[in-house]
Structure 1
Amino acid sequence: MGKATTSTGIHKKPVSVPVQVRAPGPKQTGLHSGVVGDHIGDTAHHGGDDQAVYAYATEDYAWWAAQLGRELPPGIFGENLTTSGLDLLGGVIGEKWQFGSGLVLQVTFGRIPCVTFQNRMAEPRWVKRFAAANRTGAYLRVVVPGSLVPGDRITVVDRPAHGLTLTESFEIYMHDQSRLARLLDAPELPPELLAELRERLG
């Protein structure tokens, strides 16, 4: 969990024009976000190639709006991409999304909530609530650079046979560490996370 920063990139608003997406490089020394023009405040914990783009689903927004009893406009969770009709809960680690523009992104892991996010939401115990709900959204790496175009179609073009979903992987990592070895079935997880898992498993 990262500490709150004075500079944050969580404040996002919808755009109506295409934005360029490319691999940003290493987390702390690269371009930080995969989305050109995007800002990341806490570069120690966010951004880099394995968190180049963050996607959140309108369906999960609707679920949270019902839980919280208030409207949640797109971008309030700080995502770069708000999806509709794409099953993020069942998304498989390593699956590839192709966009009409030619952009290809790959699912890497879910979002671990931080204090900055909690401050943004102004909801009591938000970090624990968000983690417990396991509606994490998807972090993505850039496989083929291109443009994010509002309204563009997303097609899942490759889904690894290991079947480890965002939901299952997050549940194991956060709440069921007796099953940590299952995460090693997904070599598409961020290398930093795989190294941590191997160290913890001995």
Structure 2
Amino acid sequence: MKLLSVNLARPHTAEYTDSAGRVTGIDKRPAPHPVRVSAPGPKGSGGSGLAGDTIGDWRHHGGDDQAVYAFAREDLDGWAAELGRELPNGVFGENLTTTGGSVNDARVGERWRVGDPDRGPLLEVSCGRIPCRTFAGWLGERGWIKRFTQRAAPGAYLRVIEPGEVRAGDAVQVVHRPEHEVSVAFWFRALTTEPELLQRMLAAGDALPHESRERALRRGA
């Protein structure tokens, strides 16, 4: 796997977002320079993990468990063919547009070394993306949340375990892959269309975001 582009927000105001001031950073464009990646802090007090990026709604996005969002070019191409429109890198609000590997098959707790093996950032897969009103409003596609949910290919959020710089062309090396079954796609299906999977999701252990773990535990109770 490698990075095709590293994407940063072009903030704008929109009626379809609930953030303060109606500001959204979902419109992301490829950066022409290396970008520093670091842990932003807990949700609500920290935004994006990428320097120069913007997240409008800190209540539901950003923070350590959603520091970086990755989406595969192959999945963008699939949607482009289905929707009959061009989908440039960053249009789904992803920070990292990847190619050469399945982001959705990555397992919760899986670790990626990006770029330089000694100095590149170490990222950890935490969960998938749940589609929201802002995403639907931005794309302007009828029934988008339902269509995206049915595909169950949400892309991956990542934590920053070790900071560093990323740039287009960087290789992505999987340096740790857990043995459990909880992939990003599995996590997404458990939280959306297949709640019977919730208890099995607990096999991911401490790598699960707190909210996901609590929901699975409530299901068990």
- Tell me which interval the TM-score lies in, with the shorter structure as reference length: over 0.9
Aligned partner (choices 200, 211, 214) of residue 192 of structure 1: 211
Shift in Å at residue 103 of structure 1?
Answer: 0.7
Match of 1:127 in 2: 145
Match of 2:195 in 1: 177
Distance 1:56 1:136 in 2: 8
Alignment pair present for 1:14 and 2:33: no
Partner SS for 1:116: helix
Render the CA deviation track for 1:21-63: whole Å, top value 9, x for unaligned.
0000111013x11011111101000000000000010000011
Partner SS for 1:65: helix
Match of 1:28 in 2: 44
Distance 1:133 1:179 in 2: 17
Aligned partner (choices 118, 123, 126) of residue 136 of structure 2: 118
CA contact (8 A) 2:110 2:178 kept: yes
Measured on the aligned residues, the alpha-carbon RMSD in Å equals 1.3
Alignment pair present for 1:91 and 2:101: no
Distance 2:98 2:77 in 1: 12
Distance 2:98 2:197 in 1: 30
Shift in Å at residue 163 of structure 1?
Answer: 2.7
CA contact (8 A) 2:34 2:165 kept: yes
TM-score relative to the length of structure 1 = 0.95
Distance 2:121 2:215 in 1: 30
The one-letter amino acid paired with 2:56 is G
Match of 2:94 in 1: 79
CA contact (8 A) 1:3 1:114 kept: no
Length, aligned pairs only: 200
CA contact (8 A) 1:25 1:48 kept: yes
**Range with greater deviation from structure 2 (169-178 or 129-138):** 169-178
Gaps of 5+ in 2: 1-15
Match of 2:8 in 1: none
Shift in Å at residue 89 of structure 1?
Answer: 2.3
Match of 1:150 in 2: 168
Distance 2:65 2:134 in 1: 20
CA contact (8 A) 2:199 2:219 kept: no
Percent identical? 48
**Range with greater deviation from structure 2 (173-182 or 17-26):** 173-182
CA contact (8 A) 2:127 2:209 kept: yes
Gaps of 5+ in 1: none
Higher strand share: 2
Match of 2:3 in 1: none
Distance 1:51 1:143 in 2: 12
Distance 1:175 1:104 in 2: 31
Show structure 1 runs of 4+ deviating over 2 A: 2-5
